[in-house]
Structure 1
Amino acid sequence: MIADYRLSDGHARVINTSSSAVYFAPKTGIAWETLGTDASSISASKKLGANALYAQSKLGNVLFSNELAKRYADQGVISSSLNPGMCGVEPIAPSFFPLIVVVGNLQTDLQPPPREYHTDANPPLQGLMFYPASYGALTQLWSGTTPDGKSHNGKFLIPWARIGDAGPSSHDEKLAEKLWNWLEEHVKESPGM
């Protein structure tokens, strides 16, 4: 898509949303055997489990963003990925919930949300872990509008408006390139693309 698009002003920002779940991706980074619709891929996906598949997809967002940054920086494209924070809108499977909240908040050095967020609709325990949904847009807005945006190319951003780290697999350039090539191949196979 970007290859066919001419940048009118030579500058564009692409912000890919990931999650703190990125820290729970499979040790291999991407479990390639799960990426398909055939019986063996479905079986491998079930074996890996929904939580790990979600984490894998969030790592995929980071790897895609990094490869986009690498391939299109010279054309004025700035690509970053980010963890929007633990906001009251993120769907989390119950078994994954405690780990993702603790690790997500520790990795980003966040304090508990403001007390005014503790309501009947948002029990106190949840209020200690989740921030208001509006907080989730802060890092995206910062990345998309800051004059320092060029310095965000290929970076992983964390709440609230800071540069962070998505873990070792996110720095694997060969893995990012392999994912990019896999995506290109599968987009070609899709009708209407």
Structure 2
Amino acid sequence: MIPPRNLLTEDGYDLQWGTNVIGHFFFTHLLLPALIAGKETSPDGHTRIVTTSSMAAYMSVIHWDSFRDGPARKKLSLDTLYAQSKLRNSLSSIMNRQISYLQDSLLSDTQIRAFSRLLAILSTSGITGNLKTELNRHLPSIARAIMNLVLYPASNGALTQLWAGTMPETIEYNGQFLIPWARVGRCREEGYDPALGEKLWDYLMEEIKDK
């Protein structure tokens, strides 16, 4: 979250976009076959993917020309760069499209139906830095001191993820945006835009195709 502006990934992405978006997408993409196989031994017969978003998702749209370094990226605040990465993490249509993509490759129709029953898109913080963790290390010391007065213990951050990943009732919350603590909320409207999800899917698949 809001690292120094000069930090980029080895592939040249804005560090927040590369870490929170490209990295998460590619990692999940690699894990899908194992996750689908895992449903066979799951107590409820399902596989669950919980993506950690943030209340920062409410604070920005996607700025398409800012993913790599350049004039457009430099014009945006570090907060905005963080927020757009968290909006991407709230887009349920991206993960639903990953499941559809596999239908033509390694999965049977039965596997697709069983797997796609649950996909939880999860927000674990009420505001940016709502938990007392090292996520705030790049904030000015005064800002950290003030925020520490109102932050929740880091252990609280696991409550909603554990609920989404383990409780029987969350089977019904496929594609939902969850908020602290263990509740269904709603992201900004762009988070449910299928056209935006389609565009981001095409972009992300292009970025990982040679990896």
Counterpart residue identity of residue 57, structure 2: V
Q: Write out per-residue CA displacement over residues 92-142 of structure 1, whole angstroms, 9 at most, x where no aligned residue.
A: 8659xx9xxxxxxxxxxxxxxxxxxxxxxx96x535521111101100000
Query: Quick check: 1:87 aligned with 2:131?
Result: yes
Query: Quick check: 1:56 aligned with 2:84?
Result: yes
Query: Quick check: 1:178 aligned with 2:202?
Result: no
In structure 2, the residue corresponding to 1:12 is in which secondary structure?
coil
Q: Write out per-residue CA displacement over residues 20-48 of structure 1, whole angstroms, 9 at most, x where no aligned residue.
A: 111111xxx31111123xxxx52211111
1:75 is displaced (CA, Å) by: 4.2
1:50 is displaced (CA, Å) by: 1.1
Equivalent position of 2:115 in the other structure? 76
Q: Distance in 2 between matches of 1:165 and 1:92?
A: 28
1:49 is displaced (CA, Å) by: 2.0
Give the conservation status (yes or no) of the 8 Å contact 1:33–1:44.
yes
Equivalent position of 2:180 in the other structure? 159
Query: Quick check: 1:14 aligned with 2:53?
Result: no
Give the conservation status (yes or no) of the 8 Å contact 1:34–1:42.
yes
Equivalent pairs, count: 157
Counterpart residue identity of residue 139, structure 1: T
1:71 is displaced (CA, Å) by: 5.1
Question: Structure 1, unaligned stretches of length 5 or more?
Answer: 99-121
CA spacing shift, 1:159–1:3, aligned 2, 3 Å: closer
1:76 is displaced (CA, Å) by: 1.4
In structure 2, the residue corresponding to 1:182 is in which secondary structure?
helix
1:79 is displaced (CA, Å) by: 1.7
Give the conservation status (yes or no) of the 8 Å contact 2:122–2:177.
yes
Q: Distance in 2 between matches of 1:167 and 1:92?
A: 27
In structure 2, the residue corresponding to 1:7 is in which secondary structure?
helix
Give the conservation status (yes or no) of the 8 Å contact 2:97–2:201.
no
RMSD (CA atoms): 2.6
Give the conservation status (yes or no) of the 8 Å contact 2:93–2:198.
no
Match of 2:160 among 139, 163, 179: 139
Q: How does 1:93-108 map to 2 (within 5 A)?
A: 94=139
1:67 is displaced (CA, Å) by: 2.6
1:53 is displaced (CA, Å) by: 0.7
Q: TM-score, structure 1 length as denominator?
A: 0.71
